[in-house]
Amino acid sequence: MKRFAILLKAKTIGWSFIFALLLSLFSPLAVANDRQQTLVLIGGALTTCSSMSEKNCLADSVPKGKKTNLYQFSKTAIKQIERNWPSDNQHNKVQTIRALNQLASVQSASISKRDLLWLWRDFNDEQLSGLSDQEYHFVIDMLEQPVTDKQEKRVKETVAVASNIEPASNEIVNFIAASTKVKTTTPHLLAITASSRDPYEAADFYEGLLTLDGITSEWLPLTPALAKAVAKNRCDLLAQFREQEMAVFNREHIYPDRIQAEHALCEKGAEHLVAIIEASTGVMFNGGDQSLTRQVLFDEQGHPYLWTTALQNRPVLIGTSAGTALQSGGRNSQGAVPMISNGTSLSALRFGAYGTDAPSERIANANGASLNQDSLTYQALGGLGSFNYGVLDTHFSERNRTARLATLLKATNQTHGFGIDETTALVVITSPSSQLMTVVGKHGVVHLTQRTDQSVGYSYWPAGAVIMPTATGFALSQRSIDNALSPIAIPALPSVRFNDLLTEGKLRSLTQAMCLTAANAAQGQQNEFLIDLKATPETAYHRLNSGKFGCAIEKLTVEFSSPTSR
């Protein structure tokens, strides 16, 4: 109980209040249990001040450090591209070299990736779009230039959490810090950046993000290439595995220190890697592509690596965006919990879900004629499995993902789905005798429950909500309900059909309006689909905070129907 009280030293009122609630809900036995685990599941967009993200910093508070990645149409790079072309497609090779030489004649200085791509598209967009993913990444990586100081030392991206312009991001980061300090007086966090195609580029940011007052952190070079090299005892093939497994090239030229760290870890073997993980207080998984990080957890046959269990058992696990989606897995009473990997709501409603690899972001139908960039895909066997209550989804309300998660629940026979909004964290605290959830940050968490083929139960838990497991699922704690704010008087919703409801976060806005007006029904439309929202005798509304999305919703019914089902 004394250790848990450390959390109450938070500087912001919001999560001080949350922890006061948690303190009253947890038993001393549960809190003191060494097997207790805390999951901090962030929905993405953890707006953070860094030398490469000036817009996220308070005025006059941008830290010194690397400002951008640099690229150049240099003769040396073009010759290397021609000499080491990664595929047998000679047409693409010839056309690419021709394009690069012409671009070099008009742009000799180093430029950003964005400017490089704009130049190339203006010159020959069809040629650029015709490259395979492997060819595209090879060319871009080979054109990249190291960012160094006058002494030829690599300039790193630096992070300044204290200068964040977004208070909700600080709230989440402070929550992470407090959670780790409950576990030990000398917390140490590891950052795994395998969700990025280029995990070496992301290492500076996440290592800096986790270097907090009283907490040490380090980047763990657990990449898909390293996982395969360690498993096969072939550290001599690390460079080859980088190209084959990750489509990453020329990194030893751009991030030599990170490549050296990866090789050193490989040489020490699997047992040493397990020991590093087991000595840590917690691990953070970055955003990007959860399918990439899954490659560092399971081999090609789907068997867990020697270190996977050690990762699952860390006292604190943190994910953001893809790193949160990765936590779905394991088994519950409905069977294996899948991991979502791609898709839009409209595509999900039209075509359903596919239990296959996510499609290419660049090339339509790269994984088969039935798939495109919008297809809903999932990994049936799940991810890390630290969260087995149901399926996790991220960037939820902002990217209008309610229908895609509802479709996946139906396709996989899972009852519960959890959609976490941006700059928001769903915190899950478990012990052998207790479980609870709470919401920290800017917005809220959507809880979906599968009902019929067309409808789902929709609940919304705003920041500050505490959620308890029940016999049939999850519900707001009585403490949250008792501390709700008084209703406010606003005009009733108009009796109209709201168009384009699955765009621009409109579904969240409509459900919040229903909550504030105590509405019984509303209707919207997205393309050919009707969306009916209805209150039932089980539906309840509670205004938990005064924010824009501060109204808690319990058990609203949302039904999607098409012309053929009406």
Per-residue pLDDT of 160-195, as tens digits, reads 999 999 999 999 999 999 999 999 999 999 999 999
**Residue 452 pLDDT:** 79
Give the β-pairing of 416-420 and 391-393: parallel
Any idea of the CA torsion for 359, 360, 366, 368, to the nearest 10 degrees? Answer: 0
- What pLDDT does 534 receive? 98
Fold of 40-57+160-418: Rossmann fold (3.40.50)
Give Cβ neighbours of residue 295 (< 8 Å, ≥ 6 apart). Answer: 194, 224, 227, 245
Which pTM value belongs to this model?
A: 0.94
pLDDT of 525 strictly over 60: yes
- Which residues 6+ apart lie within 8 Å of 245 measured at CB? 224, 225, 228, 295
CB 354 within 8 A of CB 388: no
- Angle of the 224-232 helix axis to the 256-278 helix axis, nearest 10: 70
Task: Choose, from 422, 431, 443, 559, the residue flagged as catalytic.
Answer: 422
DSSP-based three-state secondary structure for 450 = strand
Please check the confidence at residue 501 and state whether its pLDDT lies above 80.
yes
**Mean pLDDT over each residue of the chain, to the nearest integer:** 93
Q: What is the pLDDT of residue 155?
A: 99
Rounded to whole angstroms, how far apart are CA atoms 525 and 562?
10
* Three-class SS state of 181: helix
For the chain, give every domain's residue range.
40-57+160-418, 70-145, 433-566
The mean pLDDT value for 367-388 works out to 91
Note if 321 is an active site residue: yes
Q: Per DSSP, what are the bridge partners of residue 159?
A: 50
pLDDT tens for residues 239-282? 999 999 999 999 999 999 999 999 999 999 999 999 999 999 99
Query: Percentage helix, strand, coil, to 5, in the chain?
Result: 35, 25, 40
| Res 566: pLDDT | 58
Q: Are 48 and 212 in contact (CB under 8 A)?
A: no
Cα 491 from chain centre: 37
Predicted confidence (pLDDT) per residue in 322-375, tens digit: 999 999 999 999 999 999 999 999 999 999 999 999 999 887 655 555 799 999
- Catalytic pick from 144, 171, 245, 395? 395
Residue 317 has pLDDT above 90, yes or no: yes
What is the pLDDT, as a whole number, of residue 473? Answer: 95
Average pLDDT over residues 476-503: 96
Nearest to 249 by CA among 105, 368, 137, 91: 137
Contacts for 7 with CB less than 8 Å, ≥ 6 apart: 19, 22, 23, 178, 179, 181, 182
Q: Which H or E element spans position 517?
A: helix 506-517
> How confident is the model at residue 5, as a pLDDT?
36
Residue 471 reports pLDDT greater than 60: yes
Going by pLDDT thresholds of 50, 70 and 90, the confidence category of residue 454 is confident
Mean predicted confidence (pLDDT) in 426-434: 92
The beta-carbon contacts of 95-100 under 8 Å, at least 24 apart in sequence, are: 95/124, 95/127, 95/130, 96/127, 96/131, 96/135, 96/139, 99/123, 99/124, 99/127, 99/128, 100/73, 100/139, 100/143
More confident residue, 560 or 10: 560
200: closest CA among 161, 164, 160, 147? 147
Does 422 qualify as catalytic in the annotation? yes
Give the model's pLDDT for residue 245. Answer: 96
- Beta-carbon contacts of residue 200 (< 8 Å; ≥ 6 apart): 193, 248, 251, 254, 255, 258, 259, 262
Whether residue 149 has pLDDT greater than 50:
yes
How far is residue 161's CA from residue 58's CA, in Å, rounded to a whole number?
10
The catalytically annotated residue of 51, 196, 280, 321 is: 321
Distance, in Å, from the CA atom of 343 to the CA atom of 359, rounded to the nearest integer, reads 9
Q: What is the mean pLDDT of residues 23-27?
A: 47
Tell me what pLDDT residue 453 has.
73
The residues with which 50 forms a beta bridge, in sequence order, are 53, 159
The 8-class DSSP code of residue 499 comes to E
Predicted pLDDT at 11: 40
Neighbour-count burial of 473, counting CB atoms closer than 10 A to its CB (0-12 exposed, 13-18 middle, 19+ buried): middle
Known catalytic residue at 82: no
Burial class (CB in 10 A: 0-12, 13-18, 19+), 549: buried
Instruction: Label residue 416 by pLDDT band (50, 70, 90).
Output: very high
Predicted confidence (pLDDT) at residue 552 exceeds the cutoff of 70: yes
Phi-psi region of 120 (alpha: psi -120 to 50; beta: other; left: phi over 0): alpha
Distances (CA, A) of 558 to 84, 493, 536: 54, 17, 11
Neighbours of 258 (CB within 10 A): 23
CB 154 within 8 A of CB 255: yes
